Amino acid sequence: MALDTRPPLNSLGMPKAPADTRVVVAMSGGVDSSVVAAMLAEDGYDVVGVTLQLYDHGAALAKKGACCAGRDIHDARRVAEDMGFPHYVLDYENTFREAVIDEFADSYLAGATPVPCIRCNERVKFRDLLETARDLEADCMATGHYIQRRMGPAGPELHAAADAARDQSYFLFSTTPEQLDYLRFPLGHLASKAETRALAAKYGLPVADKPDSQDICFVPNGNYAAVIEKLRPGAAEPGEIVHADGRVLGDHRGVIHYTIGQRRGLGIGGLDEPLYVVRLDVDARRVIVGPKEMLATRTVPVREINWLGDGAFDAARERAISVRVRSTRPPAEAILRPLSPTEAEVELLSPEQGVSPGQACVFYETGGTRVLGGGWIWRGA
């Protein structure tokens, strides 16, 4: 019987020594990606840190609580200096604006509720940056995302993070099998963020106590409407707030200030029943409101599907899965019915409220952690 002379796999699954394994680490300047870079450098890997400058550096310097800002670039560079590996800053402002910000503004103007962080991962970090990593002759690219990559019978699989409170699988459903083959997520198995901060302290990182980013990086203080008005002057045209039964209840200052499911800030007090935004009629500049039960949705149309499950997506007529229709919702039981290789209908076994076009619908195996892919909700059901 022949002896297996192949070298053992290192911690990143490569059949060679860490010193011979080059890893590009996407560094946002936060504690998560900094720990990944420090951990891999400590383990002897050939680490190269890369930080993306995604929007105006001058404006970013004064902004706290967002990733990829000027302060964060400085923090990432400092971590690289302390740990002794090279670090590069790449100007992706134009790419980011074209691939993420413009669509964000246009989606809001069309009455949708977009998720720009997914598009950033899909179109910038896991496409352009990943190609840069290949140009740097890296064996793989590592990030600080809380998600797990596991080897299955058919190759790498995407799984939810061990810590459900930190899990970022909703934002990474569009990762393709080819990208997953190249990516690594060293934090996905950790039980809590406290473990990450303990590692940061162990490595003596200057960002060990840095607060987590809260906002979308280019939306200061969560004020979406202000950003859209700046990007699309004249977008906030006033119109009517109309009850689903046809009654005009008041005026609004622009459809972009409202989202499906919103209750507060409607400015139509004095009514007998609590009312919610149930639909946005962009063409007529109307905000349609109604009782909470009108928000209940059972059928969700999904398109631009990225499939990470086994076999061809549309090989089966239907399958039982779990889905998340918002990042803040737990997975719910559903039936997935493929309509084409990239479109499907999702039937929720229990109605969900506030399902909105522009949000993602992410697929999971029922009762498990595996991410089967997902797509985009594209019209009101």
Token pair in block for residue 38: 């420090």
Which entry of 68, 117, 140, 217 is annotated as an active-site residue? 217
Q: How far apart are CA 172 and CA 144, in angstroms?
A: 12
The residue to which tokens 């707030």 are assigned: 241
**Cβ(278)–Cβ(260) under 8 Å?**
yes
Which entry of 117, 120, 140, 361 is annotated as an active-site residue? 120
Angle among Cα 200, 122, 102 to the nearest 5 degrees reads: 110
Write the DSSP symbol of residue 259.
-
- Contacts of 104 by beta carbon, 8 Å cutoff, 6+ apart: 114, 116, 119, 228
- Contacts of 142 by beta carbon, 8 Å cutoff, 6+ apart: 12, 23, 24, 25, 26, 36, 37, 40, 183, 184, 185, 186
Supply the DSSP string of 227-244, one letter for each residue: HHHHHSTT----EEEEET
Q: Is 68 a catalytic residue?
A: no
Q: Is 361 a catalytic residue?
A: no
Secondary element (H or E) of residue 251: strand 248-252
* Phi, psi torsion values for 305, nearest 5 degrees: -75, 135
**Bridge-partner residues for 155, per DSSP?**
152
Q: How far apart are CA 27 and CA 31, in angstroms?
A: 9
Tell me the catalytic residues.
120, 217
